[in-house]
């Protein structure tokens, strides 16, 4: 049964070794994320960010270690809490041959939402994400930025308490990126916890707390201010380069 904790996400010594490759994709990860926090998991490509998210959301079983989300053990109890988790994977991950509305409706049905629950929430999300004109448009005909917003609509339709955005702001223009961060802030204000991954370091400056990942490990963690102070650096990128000791990361 769930234990009382101030954290909504808690991982302990989390390890993932893929059967193929035998590489430790995640190597002893200890994450603690509080309610309505914006937590940015930052690291190079292949540092284990997506693998970590997939394990926390229950899509992938860990090799060892434990995960608690909203106080429940994952992956054992993943279906108990899946209604409270929203997932926006990288690469949009929506159906290109369906319209925007069909996509969002499809995911709402998987979350067991009724028509009466769907419509007001859908209208609200489309207004916020500025997609109102695109309801009937096939996803393949949307621009990259619109696809990204459509993906977010699918992840938020069921009003989850925790949302994972995997590389949510990659390939997004500066105006839209600013909009996204404003929106993330407003979600936080509603009490939603956000976990955002990115390989763009300065992205992280806008998060409440940052975890720097390298080779499946957390190499630094803290608020942007704390980290900069601790490592005597002016940007997060500088810290990352310092901690990598100039090594070219090719993981």
Partner 1 sequence: MSKKDKNEILPKNLNFSFRRTMAIASRTMNQFRRDRRTLGLLIVVPIAIMLIFGLAFSGEVNNVPIILDNQDVEYMSINFGLNLSEALQADNSVDITDGDYTEGIDLVERGRFYAAVLIPENFSENIIRMFMGDDISGGLFIYVDATKPQVRASILGAIHDALDEAMGETGINVVQILAHEGAEFTGIDVGIPAVIAFVLIFLLVIVGVITVTREKIQGTEDRLYATPLRSSERLLGYVIGLLFIALLMITLVLIFGVFIFGARVQGNVFLLIFAATLFGIAHVFMAVFLANFAQNELQAIQFAPLTAIPSMALGGMLVPIVSLPVWLQPLSYLVPLTYGINLFEGIMLKGWGFAELWVDFVVVAGMCILFFVLAVLTVRNRMRD
| Residue 162 in tokens | 């925790």
> Could you give the CA distance from residue 16 to residue 64 in angstroms, rounded to a whole number?
7
| Region near partner 1 per CB under 8 A, out of 40-48, 51-59, 168-176, 199-207 | 51-59
Residue that the structure tokens 């993943």 belong to = 78
* Residue of the chain from 54, 169, 193, 197 that contacts partner 1 (CB under 8 A): 54
Report yes or no: 42 and 236 within 8 Å, Cβ to Cβ: yes
Secondary structure (3-state) at 149: helix
* Residue of the chain from 29, 44, 67, 81 that contacts partner 1 (CB under 8 A): 81
The distance of closest approach from Cβ of residue 74 to partner 1 in the complex, given in angstroms and rounded to an integer, is: 11
Residue 198 β-bridge partners: 42
The distance of closest approach from Cβ of residue 128 to partner 1 in the complex, given in angstroms and rounded to an integer, is: 20
Strands, E assignment, 75-208 = 85-88, 162-166, 193-198
Q: Is the peptide bond before 153 cis (omega within 30 degrees of 0)?
A: no
* Residue of the chain from 2, 13, 127, 226 that contacts partner 1 (CB under 8 A): 2
In the bound state with partner 1, the residue whose beta carbon lies nearer, of 109 and 178, is 109
Q: What does the angle CA 196 – CA 12 – CA 184 come to, to the nearest 5 degrees?
A: 15
The distance of closest approach from Cβ of residue 52 to partner 1 in the complex, given in angstroms and rounded to an integer, is: 13
Tell me the number of residues near partner 1 by CB under 8 A: 49
In the bound state with partner 1, the residue whose beta carbon lies nearer, of 94 and 201, is 94
Residue 97 makes contact with partner 1 by CB under 8 A: yes
Residue 141 makes contact with partner 1 by CB under 8 A: no
> Could you give the CA distance from residue 216 to residue 16 in angstroms, rounded to a whole number?
9
* Residue of the chain from 13, 45, 61, 229 that contacts partner 1 (CB under 8 A): 61
Which residue, 66, 151, 154, 58, is CA-closest to 105?
154
The distance of closest approach from Cβ of residue 191 to partner 1 in the complex, given in angstroms and rounded to an integer, is: 10
In the bound state with partner 1, the residue whose beta carbon lies nearer, of 93 and 186, is 93
Residue 84 makes contact with partner 1 by CB under 8 A: yes
Report yes or no: 213 and 42 within 8 Å, Cβ to Cβ: yes
In the bound state with partner 1, the residue whose beta carbon lies nearer, of 92 and 240, is 92
Query: In angstroms, what is the C-alpha Rg of the chain?
Result: 18
Which residues form the interface with partner 1 (CB under 8 A)?
2, 4-6, 8, 18-20, 35, 54, 57-61, 70-71, 75, 79-87, 89-98, 102, 106-107, 109-112, 138, 154-155, 161, 164
């Amino acid at each position: 049964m769930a234990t009382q904790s101030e954290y909504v996400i808690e991982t302990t010594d989390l390890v993932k070794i893929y059967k193929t490759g035998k590489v430790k994709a995640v190597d002893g990860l200890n994450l603690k994320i509080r309610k309505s926090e914006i937590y940015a998991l930052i690291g190079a490509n292949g540092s284990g960010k997506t693998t970590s998210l997939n394990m926390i959301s229950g899509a992938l079983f860990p090799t060892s270690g434990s995960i608690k989300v909203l106080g429940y053990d994952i992956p054992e109890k993943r279906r108990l809490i899946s209604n409270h988790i929203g997932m926006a994977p990288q690469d949009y991950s929506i159906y290109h041959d369906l319209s925007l509305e069909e996509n969002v409706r499809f995911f709402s049905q998987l979350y067991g939402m009724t028509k009466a629950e769907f419509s007001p929430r859908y209208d609200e999300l489309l207004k916020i994400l500025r997609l109102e004109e695109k309801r009937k448009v096939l996803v393949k005909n949307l621009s990259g930025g619109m696809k990204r917003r459509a993906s977010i609509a699918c992840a938020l339709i069921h009003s989850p308490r925790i949302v994972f955005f995997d590389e949510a702001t990659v390939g997004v223009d500066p105006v839209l990126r600013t909009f996204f961060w404003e929106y993330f802030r407003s979600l936080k204000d509603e009490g939603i916890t956000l976990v955002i991954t990115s390989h763009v370091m300065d992205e992280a400056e806008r998060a409440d707390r940052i975890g720097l990942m390298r080779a499946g490990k957390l190499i630094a963690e803290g608020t942007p201010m704390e980290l900069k102070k601790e490592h005597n650096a002016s940007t997060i990128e500088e810290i990352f380069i310092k901690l990598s000791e100039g090594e070219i990361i090719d993981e």
